[in-house]
Structure 1
């Protein structure tokens, strides 16, 4: 016998366990199930936001705190503010933004 024949390697075919195939199938089904859930949650989120928005009247319930004022200057008569945090301590752009917001809230556009 030659030295080469003594150490000849043979290929051993291993049988793939069936649980490995099952593992792949379970992972694929789980992934597809996850995708379906994400799609359903997305649809539900959009549908519920429309329903909630319709229920609260497009946010018109938030008008109540400023319903009786026309400008930012009218707010101190209705509300109390912390020291150095009142309307007089706001910047010009802050006053402009507040006046704009109050104006839009007190005169909602009808669509």
Structure 2
């Protein structure tokens, strides 16, 4: 039950981010928001840790700022994998990841 609630919270965060950030387009309705939330969750659970470990030297040299690049890559990869979800720029992907993180945290704190 907790997993379903987390996916729904992430889907709401994707919806909110797509409303406020120009350059983010989600077409196809509620199912697309859910699929984007699931894909982002899976990418962050499996691919992001691998990339983080592989890029430890760059992350140390940049004092952790390279993790932002990894977040942007995860958003681009999700846009590539999910039909109906598109990102049109690095700034849009960066803002999307920030807004999704903030909204998810806020809703998670309330729930």
Q: In which range does the TM-score fall when normalised by the shorter chain?
A: under 0.3
Q: RCO (CA 8 Å, sep 6+): is it higher in 1 or 2?
A: 2
| Higher strand residue share | 2
TM-score under structure 1 length normalisation? 0.25
> Higher helix share goes to which structure?
2
Larger Rg: 1
